[in-house]
Amino acid sequence: MPRRVLITGASVAGNTAAFWLGRAGFDVTVVERAPGFRDGGQNVDLRGVGREVLRRMGLEQAALERGTGEEGTTWVDGGGRVVARFAAADIDGDGPTAEMEILRGDLARLLFEAARGHAAFRFGDRVERVDEDEGGVTVGFAGGGSERYDAVIVAEGVGSSTRERVFPGENTPRWMDLTIAYLTIPRTADDDRMWRWYNATQGRGVSLRPDRHGTTRAMLMIQQPPGGEQDWSPDRQRAFLRARFADAGWEAPRVLAALDKTDDFYFDVLRQVRMKVWSKGRVVLTGDAAWCATPLAGVGTTLAITGAYVLAGEMVRNGDVVSAFAAYERAMRAMVDKAQGVPKIAPRVMNPHSRLGIRLLHAVLRAASHPGLRNLAVKAFARPPVQPDLSPYRALEAGRLPEKLSG
């Protein structure tokens, strides 16, 4: 009989794990607190091993076709004049804009559509209780009732409530001193296919990115230590942004005007999830719930899809669930550690507080964007991840279920 697995969270990591485990013959259920599949979200990219996993799923071409169409990155001044330009076509390899740029919701939907034929989805519910014994895990749901599983995979994201329930007090966040608000705004004739980035004083930044849905993806950034803003109500967060960006310049008024009109406002005080271990008995963490590296690392989505694939591969290779989880952590830990090594000074450097700091940043970017230095600069600042060996997981494609899954 297929082994029963519960996955909590129906986004990138959860759907990837559901696809591979269900395809291998596991009896998979995915529970998601949202009432239905969530299409929202901003730009993400996939690089290296993440693209290889997507290729093995047969989804690489579909993801490329659903790309945002972003053609590169420019820094602009208050008048919208280009200070530095990094066109993706002019860079050998991935620069700030990767070849595969896609909206989070578009990627997650691709994965969801692939996974739904291999797993059952339970929307509008969440885990309320997790009780493990020698024979399995009993999970109580907020919607009522309980079910028995052989293993539970937590893929809920950075603020995972199930992680805190199973691993109370074990997450020691590393705050990155950067607050970002994301929202979608109407597109105008002046919006091009570049990611445009503007710096204002006091550590503030505004950026606009293209998509293929006839809208523009906006970000408001503030470099400052955390002050509990992530726990404020959305109305208080919006008021805070209006006050802080009232005199920021460039396209800030346009973005602020859309704050009350958008339906996908998201506010985040960036922090990394730091866990000493990612599993406890038959419960395991993956994706941002295990290791959120923040968008500063540039490989969050790559980590999510790769980690879920490696986890599924080890569960197929190992009949013993505890051994599978330990092998998964050994395979992924180096890549995660490298991604989480972003220096805390990085947000300060990229979001100067003074006019002099902005002029110095622009001077460096302008020099780095010179045709003779562009590729050297990208390589110097790139942080290529330590990539796990994916060759042991070819059994996933054969769909082989282990003889025994025990604890």
Residue 287: inside a domain: yes
Residue 186 lies in a domain: no
Q: Which domain holds residue 334?
A: 4-69+100-173+272-342+384-398
The pair of structure tokens assigned to 240 is: 């805070």
Tokens of 18: 């559901």
Q: Is residue 309 part of a domain?
A: yes
pLDDT of residue 394: 78
Residue 199 lies in a domain: no
State residue 87's pLDDT score: 87
pLDDT given at position 88: 81
CA distance 215 to 209: 9
Q: Is residue 393 part of a domain?
A: yes
Within a domain: 184: no
Q: Is 217 inside any structural domain?
A: no
Beta bridge partners of 263: none
Token pair listed for 341: 């090594």
Q: Which residues of the chain have pLDDT under 70?
A: 1-2, 91-96, 372-385, 398-407
The torsion of the CA quartet 272, 273, 277, 278, rounded to 10 degrees, works out to -120
Distance between CA atoms of residues 248 and 219, nearest Å: 13
95-112 burial code (b ≥16 CB/10 A, e <16): bbbbebbbbbbbbbbbbb
pLDDT at 385: 61
Q: How far apart are the C-alpha atoms of 378 and 94, rounded to whole Å?
A: 8
- How many structural domains compose the chain? 1
Write the DSSP string, 238-260: HHHHHHHHTT--TTHHHHHHTTT
What CATH number has the domain bearing residue 165?
Answer: 3.50.50.60
Give per-residue pLDDT as tens, 48-101: 899 999 999 999 999 999 999 999 999 999 999 999 998 887 766 566 677 788
Within-domain flag for 188: no
**pTM of the predicted model as reported, rounded to 2 decimal places:** 0.92
